[in-house]
Amino acid sequence: PVLQLAVLVGSLRAQSYSRKIAKALAARAPDSLRCRFIEIGELPLYNEDLDGDTPPAAWSAFRAAIRECDAVLFVTPEYNRSIPGGLKNALDVGSRPPGKSVFKGLPAGVVSVSPSKIGAFGSNQALRQTFVFLDMPVMQQPEAYIGNVAELLDDNGAVKSSDTALFLENFMGALETWIRTVRPGGSSFSA
């Protein structure tokens, strides 16, 4: 069966390198992996007081969108050696209320992106820490730390080298294999 892959981009800016890399990844996904970009920028900051019978509509829409997916790909920059607050907020929103986390059990992939050399290692690892409590099995290998990203993309946001393109394609192939290993039956989310 075709798998639905939620793609969450950790940056909100229009010219985000992370979003360009996410698009480059989606363009190289196997045909049996359908990428769905789910936006996190309009989610009100998580507040338990608002999470009663009528939570903010944006939270409900976000939770519903993730529920329709079989797995989640995170493509994120690093802010102060961790993940951007907006991405953490999306994880918090999706994880609640208790016992109803939309992330529980969903396989995940992580690609971290930075214009600097370290490839947002801190962000990549910080995100993995949250998967322990979220109970998300994350693909361990291959890892993807996309450093020096400005040099990898042309003015149109396309990857310049065939090496980079192949790396992204292989990552998506491995992710599909990982998702099918964790969830052999495909989409059958249950909280």
Residue range at the interface with ligand FNR (CB under 6 A); choices 35-43, 73-81, 100-108, 174-182? 73-81
Q: Does 81 bind ligand FNR (CB under 6 A)?
A: yes
Residues 6+ apart with CB under 8 A from 180: 3, 186
DSSP E strands in 26-114: the ranges are 33-37, 71-76, 108-113
Interface segment toward ligand FNR; rule CB under 6 A; list 10-18, 26-34, 58-66, 164-172 = 10-18
Least distance (Å) between residue 187 CB and ligand FNR: 29
Closest to 38 measured CA to CA, from 21, 22, 52: 22
Cα distance between residue 71 and residue 181, in whole Å:
12
Site string for ligand FNR, 105-124 (x = CB under 6 A): --------xxxx-x-x----
Please tell me whether residue 161 binds ligand FNR under the rule CB under 6 A.
no
Cβ atoms of residues 29 and 35 within 8 Å:
yes
Q: Which residues bind ligand FNR (CB under 6 A)?
A: 11, 13, 16-18, 77-81, 113-116, 118, 120
